[in-house]
Each structure stands twice: as structure tokens, then as C-alpha cells.
């Protein structure tokens, strides 16, 4: 049996991670278990925090950012991140039906957001080797080449968190326990 990963706080973490955990506590009112786990590798936590901040200042709206995050979380089967981003999507005033569509891997009702959702799925599923037709649909919906590149940044952030959670089996924080999630079977989805 493998020993569970340590979940650090701002006092017990390696010195290089302490300030980042303190900042997380100030921002969230608590330290999410994800950051507590990442603190064992200060370079990972630092990249995660910096990339998260960079993604917040890009050309996407907060709802579009959450569509990207939720899509990647679903594709990567992240039982930790889907609940958190469900909450963040609610806070961004994303319609409840769209949040549920993302939680179930379904198409979105809003055409432009659905194009973003499908483009993000294609990026993840093809490991970035999307078809020219997928890119054309994305651009024709009103998105730009800059947006396409910023999707990659969003995917990279989720790879860091989703893979960390899969490896560490990060326990879900009580703050989002009511939004717990298991990936639904898509086998009969929509039939």
C-alpha cells in the first residue's frame, strides 16, 4: 500500500511553498487540498499559481474560462476539480443548465460556448493535433488565433491539477462536498 500524499498548510509546507499557501488561504479563506498537495513540489505549485493568474488576464470571459476548465476536468476524469469548477462556474453566473451539461459531457445550449467546449475537447483528445476543420469552426464562431493559443494555457493548468489529483487521490474539500462528481457513462448519453 502506498502512503497517502501529505497535504501541507502554510506552516508545515516546504519553505518555498509557504508564502503561496498563505496567499491561497487569504484568497479562498482556506487552503484547497490541491494546493496543499502541490506544496510538496514548490516548482509545481509556483507554475500552477503563476499560470492560473496569467489565465485570469487573458481575452476570455470568466464563463468561457470555466467552460475550458470544466471541459478538461471532464475529459481527464478529475473528481476533485469538477466540483470546484462547478462552484466557480456558479460564482461566474453561468446558467445552471450549462454547468450540468458540462458535468455530464453534453453539448452546451449556447452555440459559441459549445464551439469553445468542442474545440477544447478536440485539443485534449488529440493531444493538440486538431484538424484544420476543427480550427476553422472555432475561428468561424468568432474566436481568434490568440484564443486558440490561450485554450492551450487553460489545458496546461488543468493538466497540472488533474494529474496531481489523480496521482495523489486528493480528498475533496468540505467546501464543495455537496457538488461531488463521478464521471457519467457516455455510452448511452443522448440516446
> Does any domain span residue 4?
no
DSSP character at residue 125: H
Q: Is the pLDDT of residue 43 over 90?
A: yes
Compute the mean pLDDT over every residue in the chain, rounded to the nearest whole number: 96
Mean pLDDT of the 82-95 span: 98
Q: Residues 24, 102: one domain?
A: no
CATH code for the domain of 116: 1.20.1290.10
Rounded to two decimals, what is the model's pTM? 0.95
What is the domain count for the chain? 2
> Does any domain span residue 184?
no
CA 173 to CA 32: how far, in whole Å?
7
State the CB neighbour count (10 A cutoff) for residue 114. Answer: 17
Q: Residues 51, 70: one domain?
A: no
Q: Residues 159, 104: one domain?
A: yes
Q: Residues 14, 78: one domain?
A: no
Q: Residues 121, 72: one domain?
A: yes
- Tell me which H or E stretch contains 82: helix 81-91
Q: Residues 52, 127: one domain?
A: no
CA 157 to CA 30: how far, in whole Å?
20
> Can you give the pLDDT at residue 190?
53
> Does any domain span residue 138?
yes
Q: Residues 45, 78: one domain?
A: no
Of the candidate ranges 56-65, 71-80, 182-191, the one whose mean pLDDT is the lowest: 182-191
Residue 45: give the domain boundaries: 10-57
CA 146 to CA 55: how far, in whole Å?
12
Q: Residues 105, 120: one domain?
A: yes
Asked if 160 and 48 count as a contact pair (C-beta separation under 8 A), the reply is yes
Q: Residues 51, 140: one domain?
A: no
Q: Residues 65, 133: one domain?
A: yes
> Can you give the pLDDT at residue 1?
77
Amino acid at each position: 500500500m502506498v502512503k497517502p500524499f501529505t497535504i501541507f498548510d502554510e506552516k508545515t509546507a516546504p519553505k518555498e511553498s509557504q508564502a503561496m499557501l498563505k496567499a491561497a488561504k487569504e484568497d479562498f479563506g482556506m487552503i484547497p487540498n490541491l494546493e496543499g498537495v502541490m506544496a510538496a513540489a514548490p516548482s509545481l505549485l509556483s507554475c500552477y499559481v503563476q499560470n492560473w493568474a496569467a489565465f485570469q488576464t487573458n481575452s476570455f470571459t470568466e464563463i468561457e474560462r470555466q467552460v475550458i476548465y470544466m471541459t478538461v476536468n471532464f475529459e481527464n476524469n478529475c473528481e476533485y476539480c469538477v466540483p470546484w469548477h462547478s462552484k466557480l462556474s456558479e460564482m461566474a453566473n453561468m446558467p445552471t443548465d450549462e454547468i450540468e451539461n458540462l458535468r455530464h459531457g453534453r453539448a452546451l445550449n449556447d452555440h459559441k460556448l459549445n464551439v469553445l467546449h468542442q474545440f477544447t475537447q478536440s485539443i485534449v483528445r488529440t493531444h493538440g493535433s486538431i484538424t484544420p476543420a476543427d480550427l476553422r469552426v472555432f475561428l468561424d464562431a468568432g474566436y481568434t488565433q490568440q484564443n486558440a493559443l490561450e485554450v492551450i494555457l487553460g489545458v496546461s493548468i488543468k493538466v497540472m491539477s488533474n494529474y496531481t489529483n489523480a496521482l495523489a487521490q486528493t480528498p475533496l474539500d468540505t467546501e464543495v462536498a455537496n457538488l461531488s462528481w463521478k464521471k457519467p457513462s457516455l455510452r448511452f448519453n443522448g440516446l
